[in-house]
């Protein structure tokens, strides 16, 4: 008889509460990266009525991730606000996948402690709408199937 593998249910098995308060804490004040997928870049260029190339040249930067590999990210203003922050997100309905799926990122769902640390700076985490396990895992799958634009070795 074959033994069943050990299974530990994720800490979010009963779901997690989150509703964006549009406080902009995640969009401003600190350095950060908003990595873009092909779909993000195409949708944002269309929303701004510019070509894909003009969008990348004007609003994006390449970020070194590991030797020989870069990923495409939105630029920041000198004060570290997102390039699209103007008294709130000026493209909220078209915001990138990374922004739309926050805080349901694998790094924050890796453990309850990781989730709790992030919740300390986000007033929407732990409050508002309950997101079920299946919905949360659908966000993870979407992030995996819409990869960030990369270039260089291994891209």
pLDDT, residue 67, reads 87
Is residue 1 a part of any domain in this protein? no
Q: In this predicted model, what pLDDT tens digit does every residue of 2-43 receive, in sequence order? A: 666 666 889 999 999 999 998 988 888 888 899 999 999 999
Is residue 105 a part of any domain in this protein? yes
pLDDT at residue 154 is higher than 70: no
Domain count, the chain: 1
Q: Is the peptide bond before 103 cis (omega within 30 degrees of 0)?
A: yes
* pLDDT (average), residues 123-142: 96
Is residue 3 a part of any domain in this protein? no
Is residue 97 a part of any domain in this protein? yes
The total number of residues shown for the chain amounts to: 155
Is residue 6 a part of any domain in this protein? no
pLDDT, residue 134, reads 97
* pLDDT (average), residues 52-81: 95
For the chain, give the secondary structure using H, E and C. Answer: CCCCCCCCCCCCCCCEEECCCCCCCCCCCCCCCCECEHHHHHHHHHHHCCCHHHHHHHHEEEEEEECCEEEEEECECCCCCECCECCCECCHHHCCHHHHHCCCCHHHHCCHHHHHHHHCCCCCEEEEEEECHHHHHHHHHHHHHCCECEEECCC
Mean pLDDT, the chain, rounded, equals 92
Planar angle of CA 52, 54, 55, nearest 5 degrees = 65
Tokens matching residue 76: 């920041």
CA dist 65 and 150 (Å) reads 9
Which domain does 82 fall in, by range? 16-152
Per the listing, tokens 């299946």 go with 134
Is residue 139 a part of any domain in this protein? yes
Is residue 5 a part of any domain in this protein? no
Tokens matching residue 34: 């908003």
Is residue 31 a part of any domain in this protein? yes
């Amino acid at each position: 008889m074959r033994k069943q593998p050990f299974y530990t249910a994720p800490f979010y098995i009963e779901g997690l509460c989150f509703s964006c308060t549009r406080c902009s804490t995640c969009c401003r004040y600190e350095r950060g990266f908003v990595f873009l997928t092909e779909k993000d870049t195409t949708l944002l260029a269309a929303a701004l009525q510019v070509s894909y190339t003009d969008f990348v040249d004007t609003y994006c930067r390449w970020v070194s991730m590991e030797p020989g590999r870069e990923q495409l990210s939105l630029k920041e203003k000198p004060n570290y606000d997102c390039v699209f922050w103007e008294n709130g997100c000026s493209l909220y309905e078209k915001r990138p996948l990374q922004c739309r799926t926050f805080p349901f990122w694998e790094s924050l769902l890796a453990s309850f402690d990781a989730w709790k640390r992030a919740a300390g700076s986000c007033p929407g985490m732990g409050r508002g709408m309950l997101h079920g396990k299946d919905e949360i895992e659908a966000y993870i799958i979407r992030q995996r199937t819409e990869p960030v634009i990369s270039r260089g070795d291994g891209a």
